[in-house]
Amino acid sequence: MTEPALPDEAAAFLRKSVGDAWSVEPLAGDASVRRYFRVRLPDGSTRMLAYYPREVRPQLLQFLDAYRAVQPHGRVPQVLEHSDAAVLQVDVGDQTLFDLLHGDRESGVRLYRQAIDTLVAFQRATAGEVNPPFSSDFFFNELEMTRQFYVEALMDVPAESSRRLVPMFRSLTDSLSRHPYLLCHRDYHGQNIHILNSTLYIIDYQDMRMGPDTYDLASLLRDRGVARLLGESTEMDLLAYYSGLRESNVEPALSRFAPAGEPALRSLSKRYFETLLQRSLKILGTFSRQPIERGRLHYLEFIPPTLESVERCLRELPEFEELARAFPLRFSIQQAQARVRRIIDAQNHAASR
C-alpha cells in the first residue's frame, strides 16, 4: 500500500523490493533533508527506508561508497536493496545509546565503553575515495560558520570584533592538522549508535573521512550534553580506556606522537581537548544555523552544554587564554530565541518586498 507521506519513487522502489503488502510510518530525521521510514511487512518484520530527495541525491552514492568501505570493519546496518533515490536497510530499532544513558546511567556507561571498542574497530577501515581528509582549511571554514551564525548573528557581536577570533581559530586548526590521523565517523555520538539485542550499530557515517585520532572520541563523550551525565571522572576513565586500546590494537607506536619523556596518555589527552575545542566551537555554529535558517529552535537547547565543553577545554589548554577572553561564552536561551525570531522576521520582510 502507498502511504501519502511516502514519495512516489520511494513507493515504487518498495513495491519492486518487497512486493505490494507493506505499510510505512515516517520517522524523525536529523539535520539533513533525508527522510526516513519504518517499513512493516506482513510477517511482522520491519525494514528501514531512507529516501534522498533529488537535491541531495549525490549523498546516496556517497553513503553507498562509505558502506562498502566500513562494512568489513564497523558494525553498521546491512544494506538490503537500493535505487538511485532510496536505500532499504536492516532495521536496528529505535533505542539509542544516548537514550539509554539518560534512562539508566550505569548500563549506559558500560555500553559507552563498548562504543569505544566499536569505534576502534571502525577505525581499522579507511575512507578511500569517499571524502577527502580533514585539513586545517576545512576545520577553519567550519569555525568561520560559527563566527557567522553564533558569534555575529546569534550573539550580536559586531563583525569587526568577531574578526579578532580569526588568528586564534587558525592556530587551533593548524594544530589539529598535525595530529595522527585515523578514520573518523565525523558524527560519532550516542544518537547515532543504536542498540539492538545488546549489540551496538553505527548509523549516519557517510561523512566519514581521515582525521585526528581523538575526533570521534570527543564527539562520543561530549556531544549533546552527555558529559553532564558521564561526569569528568568517567570521561577521563574512558579516555584512558581508549588510549589503552589504541596502543594495543590500532597504533602500537602511539607513543611516538608524544614529546620526549611525556606519557602517551598525556599527549593523547592534550590532543583530545584540542579536538574537542574545535568540535565544540564548530557545533555552536550548527546549533545556531539550524534555528536561523530552518526555524528549528530546539537546537538552541544544545548550546549551553556545548559552551560547558568549550570552557572545559579552555581550562585544559592555557595556550588559548586569549580565545577564552575573546569568545562570547555568556548565553541566554530566552535572548537567543528572541534574536532568532527577529532575524527570521527580518528575512521574511525582505523576501516579501
Query: What's the confidence (pLDDT) of residue 1?
Result: 43
Q: What is the mean pLDDT of each run of 10 residues along the chain (353 residues)?
A: 72 95 86 87 96 94 95 93 97 96 94 96 89 97 98 96 98 97 95 95 95 96 89 95 82 41 80 97 96 94 94 96 96 95 89 78
Query: SS3 of 21, please?
Result: coil
Q: How many beta carbons lie within 10 A of that of residue 138, not counting itself?
A: 16
Burial (CB count <10 Å: 0-12, 13-18, 19+), residue 21: exposed
* Per-residue model confidence (pLDDT) at position 128: 82
Q: Would the pTM of this model clear 0.95, i.e. be above it? A: no
Are the C-beta atoms of 192 and 115 separated by less than 8 Å? Answer: no
3-state secondary structure of 181: strand
Q: Residue 280, Cα to own-chain centre: how many angstroms?
A: 11
| Ordered domains of the chain (ranges, CATH) | 8-90 (3.30.200.20), 97-342 (3.90.1200.10)
Distance CA 133, CA 209 (A): 5
Its sign, for the CA torsion 283, 292, 34, 41, is positive
Radius of gyration of the chain from its Cα atoms, rounded to whole angstroms: 21
DSSP state of 96: B
CA atoms of 232 and 234, how far apart (whole Å): 6
**Residue spans of alpha helices (H) in the chain:** 8-18, 57-70, 97-103, 105-122, 136-146, 159-162, 165-176, 215-222, 227-245, 264-294, 303-316, 321-326, 333-352
Residue-level pLDDT at 254: 41
Per-residue pLDDT, 255:
36
Residue 187 three-state SS: coil
CB-based contacts of 27: which residues, under 8 Å, 6+ apart? 36, 37, 38
Give pLDDT, residue 353: 75
Cell of 48: 528501514
In this predicted structure, what is the pLDDT of residue 259?
Answer: 44
Q: Grid coordinates in use for 167?
A: 588568528
| Phi, psi at 170, each rounded to 5° | -65, -40
Cα separation, 277 vs 274, whole angstroms: 5
Please give the Cα distance from 26 to 45 (Å, whole number).
Answer: 16
pLDDT at position 51: 96
Largest Cα–Cα separation, the chain: 67
Task: Identify whether the C-beta of residue 69 lies closer than 8 Å to the C-beta of residue 125.
Answer: yes
pLDDT at 31: 56
